[in-house]
Structures are given as structure tokens and as C-alpha cells.
Structure 1
Amino acid sequence: MSLAFDKVILFGDSITQYAYNQDIGFCLGPAMQNIYTRKFDVIQRGFGGYNSDHAVLMVDKIIQQETTLTSKIKLMVVFFGTNDSVIPEATQHVPILRYKDNLRKIVSSAEQAGARVVIVGPGPYNHHQWIIGRNEERAAERTTLRAREYCDAAIEVAKELNVAVVPMWHLIMADLGWKEGDPVHGLAELPAENPLTSYLNDGLHYFGKAYLVEFENVIRAIKESYPELDPASVSEKLPTWDKLTSPDVLKSALE
């Protein structure tokens, strides 16, 4: 059917759930919808607080829900690991080996459904922002170094499975000018005033600046790894208005 739109699924935790909150400026969700307008439907499936253990339980149901006789999932942008990376004593924790195995299972489910996959690795964490309104014990459940480890694990799985990856820890840190060997912004023992405050609105979730980094690199990954899904290569649904020289043109296109 001419109006059966295939889909892009944004699948993740709260950072994906909040990716449509335009109070913070630029947002991933509307940007993805805009670039695929009249081409694919972009579906948000973000669940605050969830980790990759939860994702594995959900992925087949999500795929089943979004797959019909006339509409398929073309791409899944999978962004878990931020909650997995909390310390082992915290309830959201998933050990890194199981996190990697969970990513493998999610990719396998998506690929069996005919979808391409972009894995997004966790971004940095800023202790001094996150502790505001929280006790020290809760704030200490996370560190940016653990987030980096899980981001690196996501990179490893993506390379192993030959799927695209967007390593947000490295991309945000590079965007703010950090280089390997520099002090790592966001650690509790380093100054509270640091460049991460313009990327993270509470030390964990994203401001528009971070969503822009994610969006630009997701699109870059698509162009490089899945050129058939490059927005510039996907045809729009139905003729442009100037081609509608008679009602029959549209009627024919709708058949």
C-alpha cells in the first residue's frame, strides 16, 4: 500500500523517553521524524529506569507490535547501558558481560525481523549535577568511568556483530574538547564547574546539545553503514503537490 509506512524504532531508557521534550531545546525524536518525513514513521519506545535485562524481555513484543503485513521495521536505534552501568549493589545494575550478551540478543531479534541496527553506547555522567537533590549514597551509584566501560562494551559488540555504533561517551567528551590523558570531567573529586553542565541537564539526562551529538552521529552511522536507509536515498510517499495535475494522479498513487 502506498500509505503503509515502514518504521524506525527508537528503543531505550529515559534518555530515549525524554528525546521529545522540547523544553530542553534540540531533541532527537522530532529531528528523526523531520528527516524521515513522508518516508518512515519514527516510533519512540523509551522506558525510564529500564536496563538491558528489561530490553531483552521486551524487544520481541515491540517488533511484533510494529510489524504488519504492509509495514516493517527498517531500523532500530538501541540505546541501553546507562542504567546497567550503576554499581553492582544498585538495583538497576547489569554485569558488563550480561549487558553485552543482551545487546547481542536485541540485535539478533531485530535482524531476524529484517531491521538494521544502530547501537548507542552510554554517555558521560556528571557527579556534581546528579547529587543535587539526592544523598551521597545514591549519587555514588554512578561514575562516568563506569559509563565509559559500558560504552566501550557497546562498541565491542557492534564491531563483533558488524552493526553501526554511536559511542556517546567518547562523542560528547570529544565535542566538549576533552582528549585522552586530560582530567575526566564529571568525577566527584574534580571541580563541579566543568563543560558537561551544558550537555547534561541533571548530570545524566541530556540537554539539546547532547541530543544534537546523538542525532548527527546516528545519521552519520546510517549513511556510512546502511546507505539504503540514508534519508536522502529513501523516496517520499505520494507525488509532490506540483505533480498532482488531476485527481487521477493521486488516485493512481494511492492504489
Structure 2
Amino acid sequence: MAIAFDKVLLFGDSITQYAYNQDNGFCFGPAMQNAYCRKFDVIQRGFGGYNSNHAVIMVDKIIEQETTPTSKIKLMVVFFGTNDSVVPEAVQHVPILRYKDNLRKIASSAEKAGAKIVIVGPGPYNHHQWVIGREDRAIERTTLRAREYCDAAIEVAKELNVAMVPLWYLIMADLGWKEGDPVYGLAELPAKNPLTSYLNDGLHYLGKAYRVEFNNVIAAIKETYPELDPATVTEKLPTWDKISSLDVLKAALE
């Protein structure tokens, strides 16, 4: 019989797609793989430029692909909203009510497959970094719209009683911002601000941001789904020091 590993599915847009690019330092994807090594396979399904409208069309096929008679998806980390939150005139835009309904549909698909879900809300955006070389797209995004979509994701997670990682607030808190402070990343504020050490182009993540995502995804799993806490999930096959003879390993494989 094959050694069957159940799975953690990372499902999102370019921030998930690039979550294995170690040129940017600490990476979310490898960190998740390390946390679940010998426990679950971590599957990356990130699609640059996609929004939640695309996600609801794909989700059932992706779940079907990763579900077999001997293994299934135990956990889905779902991270859409960064592209949904562009201004209504931009092609990637998804209205906020539609975005919320899409998250509900994705969560429903996960539930039908027996998977738990962590919803990740979009993080902050830094105008002055993003517009370099993209002057024609300068008005497409604002960090305040990103926060609105993060708030919407929070509302859906509370409604569905699923785990939530509100990255807009978590990244801003990590860099020292607090409610009432000027909001870093706005066009009318100085270009030099702490977000530049978290974002490589004003939108996509450097290691600091991915570390905030990883730490808080793991914390959300521990709190909401303790049975999926990587510290408590059993490793596949005995540790080397428990293999007193090769027959012990052979028995474990039967």
C-alpha cells in the first residue's frame, strides 16, 4: 500500500503564487511545508492576477484533483481579495458583496470536502512603490480599499465560524502602526514609510510580510483547529530510533 499523505492546500492569487520565491527572503510556502513535514503534503495553488470570481469557478476542480481514495485535503488556506479590491473601473474588481459571497462559496466547497478553512484577508498596499513604472495604473488601488476588503473577509469568517487572518491589521501592527495614526501607503503621505520593508513593489510580499502571514496562520490553526496544529499531528512512519529492526519499518508500511 502506498504511503498516503493528507494535504494542506494554499489557494490564492499572486501572493500565494510567489510564496515560494526565496529571492525575497522568508517564504510562507516553505515555512508551511517545514511545519507539516512528514505529516501533510502542502500543495500550492496560487494564480497571479486572479480574483475571487475566478476562485469560485476553480475551487471544486482543484479540490477534486487533490482528493483520492487514500488522501484528502485537511486544511485550505484561502487568500483572495487583493485584486478584488481594485477600483470598480479596473478589470480585476469584484464588488464587496460579491467578494463576500464568493468566500462563502469557497468555504462551502471546503466543508463538503471535509476540509477546514483559514480565510486570509488582504494586506496593506503602498502607493509610492507600486506606481514606479506603472503610472498609468496609479489610481487602481488604495490601501483603504484593501482594508475594506479585509474587513469584509473578517465578517465572513465570523459568520461562518472559521479561522481568520486579517493581514491588513496584522502587518500594520507589526510595523508599529496603531488606530488613529496616519495610514502608511497613501498617495498623499510621504513615500518613505515602514511598508517598504514588507512589500517589494507596494503590493507583493517580502520576507517580513510572509513571516507575519505564517505566524498568524499557524496561530489561527492552533486556536480554531487544534487537531490540525502541526505540533500535534502525528508524523508518518516511526522515527529512526524506534526502528529496532527492519521488520518494524516493514510493519509500519503494511
Task: Give TM-score, length-normalised by structure 1.
Answer: 0.99
The aligned counterpart of 2:214 is 215
SS of 1:232's equivalent?
coil
Q: CA deviation at 1:73?
A: 0.3
Alignment pair present for 1:21 and 2:24:
no
Q: CA deviation at 1:84?
A: 0.1
Native 8 Å contact 1:8 1:41 kept in 2? yes
Residue identity opposite 1:129 in structure 2? Q
- Among the aligned pairs, what percent are the same residue? 85
The aligned counterpart of 1:51 is 51
Summarize the alignment of residues 50-199 of structure 1 with structure 2, pairs less than 5 Å apart. 50-135=50-135, 137-199=136-198
Consecutive unaligned residues of structure 2, counting only runs of 5 or more, are none
The Cα offsets for residues 53-90 of structure 1, whole Å up to 9 and x where unpaired, read as 00000000000000000001000000000000000000
Distance, in Å, in 2 between the alignment partners of 1:187 and 1:2 is 53
The Cα offsets for residues 218-251 of structure 1, whole Å up to 9 and x where unpaired, read as 0000000000000111000001011111111111
The aligned counterpart of 1:240 is 239
The Cα offsets for residues 188-220 of structure 1, whole Å up to 9 and x where unpaired, read as 000000000000000000000000000000000
Distance, in Å, in 2 between the alignment partners of 1:2 and 1:249 is 17
The Cα offsets for residues 120-150 of structure 1, whole Å up to 9 and x where unpaired, read as 0000000000001111x40210000000000
The Cα offsets for residues 88-114 of structure 1, whole Å up to 9 and x where unpaired, read as 000000000000000000000001100
SS of 1:117's equivalent?
strand
The aligned counterpart of 1:7 is 7
Q: CA deviation at 1:2?
A: 6.7
Q: CA deviation at 1:10?
A: 0.2
The aligned counterpart of 2:202 is 203
Equivalent pairs, count: 254
Native 8 Å contact 1:7 1:71 kept in 2? yes
SS of 2:133's equivalent?
coil
RMSD (Å) for aligned C-alpha atoms: 0.7
Consecutive unaligned residues of structure 1, counting only runs of 5 or more, are none
